[in-house]
Structure 1
Amino acid sequence: MNLKVFILAAATIGVGLVELIVGGILPVMADDLQVNLGTAGQLISVFALIYAISGPVLLSLTAKIERKRLYLIALFIFFLGNVMTYFSPNFLLVMVARVITAMSTALVVVLSLTITAKIVEPAHRAKALGFIYMGISSSLVLGVPIGIIITDHFGWRTIFLGIAFLSLMSIVFISLFLERIPTERVQPLSVQIKSLGNIKIASAHLATMFMLAGHYTLYAYFTPFLETAFHLNQNWISICYFLFGLSAICGGALGGALADRIGSQKSILLVISSFAIVLFLLPYSTFSFPLFLVAMMLWGALSWSLAPPQQNYIIQIDPDASDIQQSINNSALQIGISLGSAIGGVVLAHTSSLISTAHVGAGVVVIALICGIISLTRSSGIDQAEM
């Protein structure tokens, strides 16, 4: 695999950590910043919202800036945002810093995806994108346990100082190893948004959104699920999260390799349908902890296997606007995370059953499958009249 792809994936890990790492340390941050837990929780919600909106918008606004230069600028702003978080004396400044890091993270991630798609051969593109998604998934799923460990030993502010250092390392490696990436013609933002009126494209993005929404319907409440099903202590819960995280990381590579072998379209259908089945059956494996671990790791691997073939498919169906479509798909992923967490909360409020979150989540994934089928069965190519 191209060394540059590994460097871009490593940079993605560094910036991706900042999003959900807050989840495991909210009580500590709330206490230190003298706000209640609900208020502190807005640090996650606002980040996800800003991330989802800013990716496509910033990519369009910066269309004339050479890609390597833009990448370095975004990384430096991300560095400043994390330094600001470290020194912020109150909640308001921490929130401002979260907005800054959300915007820069969105730009860095989408640039990692679009640059990767340009520097590798088309035959290996899905696999290369899979490595980028390994970075995204690893930062999201391993951030929480890493944050808890660092906070327990050094305090929560140290986390953001460490992330700032990682971004500086990324700046060095990107400067040394990545060549200049010329800009390409980018359509106006209004035209790009109008492309979502094309059913083939819109349903592909919806498939990503509902896939992640179904996943987070259960995953957002995974800790209480483990406590209820197995009465595990914190050490065993951390082990489960770690195993899940390793599986999710491998899932990105699995999805990319699968797409290169059997094609993106077949991979999309196989991954989504398999994920729905595994998620539905997961609660029935809890009679045996070893069996549950196997099912859990399969769930984890499939949870991030869709992104590489989906991104490759989007590039294929709309090559002229592939950058913005990749960005929109990444935003759909973020919206799916927020939507799934909300759906899980509603399910628990009405049923008080954690098993129901898995079943409802599987139902949401079925919606993703329907969206995928709609996209795949539409005529190929983009009707320019619709654009």
Structure 2
Amino acid sequence: MNPKIYILAVSCFVIGTVELIIGGILDIISNDLGVSVSKAGNLITIYSVFFALSAPILLNMTAKFERKKTYLWTLFAFLLSNVLSAASTNYEMLFVGRIIAAISGSFLVVLSTTMASRMVADEYKGRAIGTIFMGISASLVLGIPIGILVGNAYGWRSVFILIGILTALIMVGVFFLLEKVSPPPVVPLREQLRSLREPKIITTELSSGFMLAGHLTLYAYLTPFLRTTLHMNTTMVTIMYIVFGIAAVAGGGLGGLSSDKFGSKKSILTIITAFLVMMLIIPFSVDWPIYVFTAVIIIWSALSWAISPAQNNFIIQMAPHNSDILLSLNTSASHLGIALGSFVGGMVIEHTSILYNAWFGAIFVLIALLCSIFSITRHTVSQSAQSHQH
């Protein structure tokens, strides 16, 4: 495999860290800027909304541009967004910084994926894309705990300074190491959206969105949850995030294995059902011994990431000729789910107690399960969605 792909994976690692880091340092930001925890949580919501919507649009606008140059300019915008975030003196500036980071970050992830698959021979494509996604999941394991430690030691702005420096180094690497990459063939937006008329496809995308909405209702506020219910200190919270991250990456691997071995349909239904059970148990588990609570969190985390490979596999089997577009729309649905979950989670904290976030999240997971059951029991996708293969 082409070793130059690793620079794109590192880039995705940094982007993944920026997206979710706010969750780890919510309490510091809300204290420093004098806003409520749920208002600080909106920094995740707004990021996810723009992340979901901008990539498909930017892909169409830049469809004819050479990829390496496009990548460098987008990295530059991402760098500026982190400089702006680090320099923020109030909530509004940070809000704008997050929007620019989301627009450039989402485009970089899609570019990384398409460039990686064009940089290798056919038989390495799966592994190339897998490498990019490892960068994103590694940001969960390493990026967020590092962010919490740096943020607590040197203030939350230092996190964005560090990310800015890393982004600048990636720009240098991309400039000197990557060859030019020609743009892929253009698919008109109208044709991309046509596939969304299929109930089977729509319900699959909705399932991804609602699953993550359920997850983020609690996960976006995991730091205040651990501090409030279990009175954990910063070190313990950081350890929990590392445990969570390792479980998440392992879960991603197991989800892929499971869908190869038992088929994606069985895997999807089993994973979502088990995830629903964990969401219902979590509020009770805070009263149980800490090792039982940790076990619950490990299973919850592993399941939250196990769903992705199974869903992606299902989408590729369902409409192979359209899978690029459907996978990017699936990413959009997922991020809209993250936005919905982090928003609802904030509302729950404002109006009831953080203890109940998991139960409100479970409602979304139940909807995801119903969507998946509908999608899986529908017959195959009609020819119209696959018509342009000829």
Q: TM-score range by the shorter chain?
A: 0.7 to 0.9
Residue type of the alignment partner of 2:238: S
Equivalent pair of 1:55/1:328 in contact (CA under 8 Å): no
CA displacement at 1:107 relative to structure 2: 0.5
Q: Give the Cα separation in 2 of the matches to 1:156 and 1:223.
A: 14
- Structure 2 residue 329 is matched with structure 1 residue 328: yes
Q: Deviations over 1:127-156 (max 9, x none)?
A: 654543343234356554433322333343
1:162-241 equivalent positions in 2, closer than 5 A:
162-175=162-175, 178=178, 180-227=180-227, 229-241=229-241
Residue-by-residue CA offset, 1:290-310 (whole Å, 9 max, x unaligned): 122122112111111222232
Structure 2, unaligned stretches of length 5 or more? none
The answer to whether residue 304 in structure 2 is matched with residue 307 in structure 1 is no
> Could you say if the C-alpha distance between residues 224 and 25 of structure 1 is closer, same or farther in structure 2, counting changes exceeding 3 Å?
closer
Checking the alignment, whether the CA contact within 8 Å between 2:41 and 2:342 is kept in structure 1 is: no
Query: 1:222-301, aligned counterparts within 5 Å?
Result: 222-227=222-227, 229-286=229-286, 287-301=288-302
Q: Is the 8 A contact 1:125 1:312 kept in 2?
A: no
Is the alpha carbon distance of 1:145 and 1:317 closer, same or farther for their aligned partners in structure 2, counting shifts above 3 Å?
same
1:18/1:224 Cα in 2 relative to 1: closer, same or farther (>3 Å)?
A: closer
Structure 1 vs Structure 2 CA RMSD = 3.3
Report % sequence identity: 44
Secondary structure at 2:384 match in 1: coil
Return the letter of the residue paired with 1:64. Answer: K
> Quick one: distance in 1 between partners of 2:368 and 2:307?
11
Amino acid at match of 2:338: I
Tell me which amino acid in the other structure corresponds to 1:309: A
SS at match of 1:304: helix
Mapped partners of 1:221, 1:25: distance in 2: 10
Cα 1:27–1:316, aligned 2, differ >3 Å: closer, same or farther?
same
Q: Is the 8 A contact 1:123 1:260 kept in 2?
A: no
Give CA deviations for 1:1-50 in whole Å, capped at 9, x if unaligned: 76455443322111222223234445655676x66447655543332221
Is 1:375 aligned to 2:369, yes or no?
A: no
Count of residue pairs brought into register by the alignment = 385
**Letter of the structure 1 residue corresponding to residue 65 of structure 2:** I
**1:315-334 superposed Cα distances (whole Å, 9 cap, x missing partner):** 34334443332222112111
- Closer, same or farther: CA 148–237 of 1 in aligned 2, 3 Å: closer
Show the counterpart of 2:67: 67
Query: Measured at CA, do residues 218 and 81 of structure 1 come closer, stay the same or move farther in structure 2, by a change above 3 Å?
Result: closer
Deviation at 1:81, TM superposition (A): 2.5
- The TM-score with structure 2 as length reference comes to 0.83
Report the Cα offset of residue 179 of structure 1: 5.1
- One-letter identity of the residue aligned with 1:298: I
Structure 2 contact 207–372 (Cα < 8 Å) conserved: yes
Q: Bigger shift: 377-386 or 326-335?
A: 377-386
Residues 319 and 347 (structure 1), Cα distance of their counterparts in 2 relative to 1, 3 Å cut: same
Provide structure 1 residue ranges, at least 5 long, that are not aligned to the other structure.
none
